[in-house]
A and B are shown apart, each in its own frame.
Chain A
Amino acid sequence: MDFRYLPMTQEDEKEMLQTIGANSIEDLLADIPASVRDKGTLKEVGIPLPETDLIRTLSKLADQNMNTKQYPSFLGAGIYDHYAPAVVNHMLLRSEFYTAYTPYQPEISQGELQAIFEFQTMICELTGMDVANSSMYDGITALAEAAMLACAHKKKKTIVLSDGVHPESHDVVRTYAKGPGLNVETLALRDGETAIEQLDAIDDVACVIVQYPNFYGRVEDLQALADATHAKGGLFIVSANPLALGLLEAPGKLGADITIGDCQPFGIPQSFGGPTCGYFTTTKALMRKIPGRLVGQTVDEDGKRGFVLTLQAREQHIRRDKATSNICSNQALNALAASIAMSAFGKQGIRDLAVRNLQTAHALKKSLKAAGFRIVDDGPSFNEFVVELPIDAEEASRQLLKAGIIGGLPLGTYDANRNREMLVCATELRTKEELDQFVSALGGLTHA
């Protein structure tokens, strides 16, 4: 059988073995103990598929999923259905980007390095922070890394998470905390907002982490939370939806020491939750503690401007067990997608897009109220909020599917006490017709 990715001919093999002075490829493997040699187990992987059959096989699997291009979706909760301008995918398919690796050789990697430098700049602009790195796996592991940084920097052992932070962030932070044996405490919400006075009862606080807008959609008063955190001697960490920052005040102006988040709203498909692209920003004071790759501007031998990976003394390949983080691969290609999308939106476009999201969700909130639904902890929000349903929200979600609608998130998924609540999201892609259809389908539930 010939394989289109394997160029070696029998003649090549013979010539190469001759040069090596070996009789067969088996000679090259003779140092492997016979007892550990594989006995043909790969047969279980199946037969090779030609491209046509591969497409048929994978398309069949893809078609078993209900996708958001076909069905209107009201799901958010960290992954959003936004439009990626066509230029994003076309530029991403420039294979000089996607078939390269980390830009270790700056002379032939200026494209990637400059793209990252521009990404870092855009993220600093959005967040109002001094320094951004080249990307993290996703917003949630970026949050966990921020918590670890805070504990190491403050030499304290307690991470404080608002219950307004994504439940999966809580989960991931708890897993990370088990490594060095850190404590995780939580702050409950009151009327939809972090009840910060609970901080008084917690000791050894390295950081307080909040989400902006919070998981349930509410926009909280960051400055007040920052002040309380700083009074307690902790770092104030904000997990911010970068699209919301097109309209909302930047965390950097509201006392954030670290702002992290996920760039998925910018040109990155939902892709079943990954890969997305975490961003990580902080102040000048903490610049040398930042995890991951950083790109800096410099000059070449002729004084010509160029870019390099810099401050690498923080990183695992230099510092090994003393590194600030173990991260190596990041999400560079998705950072590129986000940069292209942000450049497409531009200064005015990002604000307009944020406003349209706000307007669409606001319109949905209004119609739901008019239809008699209660909005839970109603208050300032962006493109998400919580609605109370007359029946179990998971059951509602199933009924909505049958009506051709991907409903919001049943909150019972994360909190059994909230099983009649649904976290709904309406982005710029939802039309009035779809909102009406959704409200009417939810109305149908009440009589079910």
Chain B
Amino acid sequence: MHKSSEQTLIFEISKPGRVAYALPLATVEEAAIEDMLPSSFIRTEDVALPEVSELDLVRHYTALSNRNHGVDSGFYPLGSCTMKYNPKINEDMARLPGFAHIHPLQPVESIQGALGLMYDLQEKLAVITGMDEVTLQPAAGAHGEWTGLMLIKAYHQARGDFKRTKVLVPDSAHGTNPASASVAGFDTVTVLSDERGLVDLEDLKSKVGDDTAALMLTNPNTLGLFESDIVEIAKAVHEAGGKLYYDGANSNAIMGIARPGDMGFDVVHLNLHKTFTGPHGGGGPGSGPVGVKQDLIPYLPKPIVAKTEEGFILDYDRKDSIGRVKPFYGNFGINVRAYSYIRTMGGEGLARVSKEAVLNANYMLARLKGAYDAPYDVYCKHEFVLSGRRQKALGVRTLDIAKRLLDFGYHPPTIYFPLNVEECIMIEPTETESKETLDAFCDAMLQIAREVEETPDVVLNAPHTTVVKRMDETLAARKPVLRYQPKQEVHA
């Protein structure tokens, strides 16, 4: 059994006979099960779902929500995740019955509004990224990466070029990049960063060749630095016959400033749940549209929404398409939210978003770089990295600093990523946070830096105020308990 100070599981408050649901009134004949299905098909054991009243249910999930930190709870500067405010109106728009309660296989004449929205979103995302055509089908960023790489594979193969088996990925890239390359059947070659934190051009040139399918690049990169050699990088990859892939995880830095299409990228994915405010949902759902330049359009997943004189259609007549990457047409509900956001901000608003995100990040960097090491002390874009190596020398690790931030009511930054920075702390404030919030967070970081020197135990033993203390992750991995078992006795 659980201890009294522990949060109960919903299974532990279950009591036979309680329900939180009522079936609709019966209007059809209530035929006996055995008259409809052979008895051998029927379950032998009931599904042991919890039995609770509606109030039990509401209290349980309210209690769980109170044990969770979201953007609405407080500052959430999780680098590369773009934890900006999620506008309430977007939630309302996605719940309009004409969007929430339509079936993907309805006749097209009964879904013209949905197709019209998708078409306009495709067009607007093409403008924002500088690409020629967009598919909304991929479900998330990683899914978009894999889709983009499959497009590139199809492009090369259509030209009879089967020797391009390698995808180049910088050492600072998100983990999904090499993983997506692998799922798409490519070998990954790591490109080193130079002392500036940027792609090492010489290293790139030594690795790019006639076996290169693509280079995947995040720009600004995960250090928050703009790859200022982008024109040379694009030239090197293109001259070798490769394609340039843009990981849009960091696109919050570049709207109205520099478009991937103009930088020379051939394929782009966007994370609509990041830059375009579809909420992160505790891990998802996201949406990962992919945009391409002209020569890759034939390979896009089908269907694509197209406009004809008779109205919008789902165009399946695409013989070179890589096929489907997802059932139906992508995460429409998230796309509605992103569309709602784009229409709210307009072009002018989106351009301000990126500029203010960049200013916020640079302001925090300026305030924090005295107390923490800034391995790249140049202007950053929408995010920046610090190193906790000075604190580590005093016996306090970045993990401890992150845990101490919890006591101040903050979600910590991304830590230990990117991998090429020792004791990395990666901070992305976003544009929706006020100067007061940034100042309060910086004050907390500065206080923690002082604590590391004066009272390190306060940091080492943090957090002090959360509902649980640091968790035993080794135990979790060594003796995995991945589901509730009635009458189990797992802990002491």
- Least distance between A62 CB and chain B CB atoms (Å): 3
Write out the residue numbers on chain B whose beta carbons fall within 8 Å of the beta carbon of A336.
Answer: 282
- Least distance between A43 CB and chain B CB atoms (Å): 5
In this complex, how many residues of chain A approach chain B with their Cβ under 8 Å: the count is 210
- Chain A 288-313 interface mask (CB, 8 Å, partner B; 1/0): 00000111111111111111101111
A36 at interface by CB-CB < 8 Å: yes
- Least distance between B419 CB and chain A CB atoms (Å): 9
Choice from B38, B61, B101, B139 contacting A270 with Cβ under 8 Å: B101
Choice from A102, A308, A363 contacting B282 with Cβ under 8 Å: A102
- Least distance between B369 CB and chain A CB atoms (Å): 11
B116 touches A274 (CB 8 A): no
Write out the residue numbers on chain B whose beta carbons fall within 8 Å of the beta carbon of A81.
Answer: 101, 103
A329 touches B43 (CB 8 A): no
A 30-56 contacts with B by CB, 8 A: 30-33, 35-38, 40-49, 51, 54-55
B307 at interface by CB-CB < 8 Å: no
Q: How far is the CA of A89 from the CA of B481 in the complex (A)?
A: 30
Q: With A25-B358, A107-B403, A333-B281 in contact, do A359 and B258 touch (Cβ < 8 Å)?
A: no
B363 touches A20 (CB 8 A): yes
A141 at interface by CB-CB < 8 Å: yes
Cβ-Cβ contact count across A and B, 8 Å cutoff: 723
B433 at interface by CB-CB < 8 Å: yes
Choice from B63, B184, B356, B403 contacting A179 with Cβ under 8 Å: B184
Write out the residue numbers on chain B whose beta carbons fall within 8 Å of the beta carbon of A7.
Answer: 432-435
Choice from A25, A37, A110, A380 contacting B37 with Cβ under 8 Å: A380
Choice from A269, A348, A432 contacting B101 with Cβ under 8 Å: A269
Write out the residue numbers on chain B whose beta carbons fall within 8 Å of the beta carbon of A83.
Answer: 24
Write out the residue numbers on chain A whose beta carbons fall within 8 Å of the beta carbon of B105.
Answer: 75, 77, 79, 273, 409, 413
Q: How far is the CA of A354 from the CA of B332 in the complex (A)?
A: 28
Q: How far is the CA of A352 from the CA of B285 in the complex (A)?
A: 30
Closest to B24 in A: A428
Q: How far is the CA of A118 from the CA of B14 in the complex (A)?
A: 13
- Least distance between A298 CB and chain B CB atoms (Å): 4
* Stretch binding the partner chain, chosen from A165-173, A194-202, A440-448: A165-173
B101 touches A343 (CB 8 A): no
Q: How far is the CA of A36 from the CA of B129 in the complex (A)?
A: 12
A172 touches B324 (CB 8 A): yes
Write out the residue numbers on chain B whose beta carbons fall within 8 Å of the beta carbon of A79.
Answer: 103-105, 328
A331 at interface by CB-CB < 8 Å: yes
B492 at interface by CB-CB < 8 Å: yes
B98 touches A248 (CB 8 A): no
Q: With A73-B103, A308-B471, A320-B188 in contact, do A271 and B332 touch (Cβ < 8 Å)?
A: yes
B351 touches A320 (CB 8 A): no
For A250, A311, A349, which residue has the most chain B Cβ atoms within 10 angstroms? A349
Q: With A42-B350, A340-B61 in contact, do A114 and B110 touch (Cβ < 8 Å)?
A: no
B255 at interface by CB-CB < 8 Å: yes
Q: How far is the CA of A128 from the CA of B109 in the complex (A)?
A: 42
Choice from B44, B286, B339 contacting A249 with Cβ under 8 Å: B44
A344 touches B54 (CB 8 A): yes
For B19, B43, B73, B325, which residue has the most chain A Cβ atoms within 10 angstroms? B43
A28 at interface by CB-CB < 8 Å: yes
- Least distance between A49 CB and chain B CB atoms (Å): 5
Q: With A5-B87, A109-B69 in contact, do A323 and B175 touch (Cβ < 8 Å)?
A: yes
* Stretch binding the partner chain, chosen from B77-85, B199-207, B389-397, B445-453: B77-85
B 142-159 contacts with A by CB, 8 A: 142-143, 145-146, 150, 153
B182 touches A323 (CB 8 A): yes
Q: With A141-B143, A180-B185, A297-B481 in contact, do A401 and B110 touch (Cβ < 8 Å)?
A: yes
Q: How far is the CA of A44 from the CA of B412 in the complex (A)?
A: 37
B29 touches A359 (CB 8 A): yes
B347 touches A45 (CB 8 A): yes
- Least distance between B130 CB and chain A CB atoms (Å): 7
B43 touches A328 (CB 8 A): no
Write out the residue numbers on chain A whose beta carbons fall within 8 Å of the beta carbon of B245.
Answer: none
Write out the residue numbers on chain A whose beta carbons fall within 8 Å of the beta carbon of B69.
Answer: 96, 100, 105, 108-109
- Least distance between A174 CB and chain B CB atoms (Å): 6
B 184-210 contacts with A by CB, 8 A: 184-185, 187-188
Q: With A98-B282, A134-B283, A273-B327 in contact, do A107 and B333 touch (Cβ < 8 Å)?
A: no
Write out the residue numbers on chain A whose beta carbons fall within 8 Å of the beta carbon of B150.
Answer: 175, 178-179
A16 touches B363 (CB 8 A): yes
- Least distance between B71 CB and chain A CB atoms (Å): 4
Closest to A138 in B: B327
B491 at interface by CB-CB < 8 Å: yes
B226 touches A31 (CB 8 A): yes
Choice from B97, B480, B481 contacting A62 with Cβ under 8 Å: B97
Q: How far is the CA of A65 from the CA of B89 in the complex (A)?
A: 20
- Chain A 48-92 interface mask (CB, 8 Å, partner B; 1/0): 110100110111111111111110010101110101010101110
A275 at interface by CB-CB < 8 Å: yes
* Stretch binding the partner chain, chosen from A119-127, A154-162, A230-238, A369-377: A119-127
Closest 3 interchain pairs by CB? A62-B98, A273-B328, A64-B113
16 chain-A/chain-B pairs, Cβ below 8 angstroms: A1-B349, A8-B359, A19-B366, A32-B226, A54-B344, A59-B96, A61-B117, A89-B95, A91-B65, A249-B43, A272-B103, A272-B333, A273-B329, A275-B284, A294-B482, A349-B21
* Given A41-B130, A299-B475: 16 more A-B contacts, CB < 8 Å: A6-B432, A40-B256, A55-B92, A58-B99, A58-B336, A94-B65, A112-B68, A126-B47, A180-B185, A247-B43, A273-B103, A274-B328, A303-B491, A310-B476, A319-B179, A406-B110
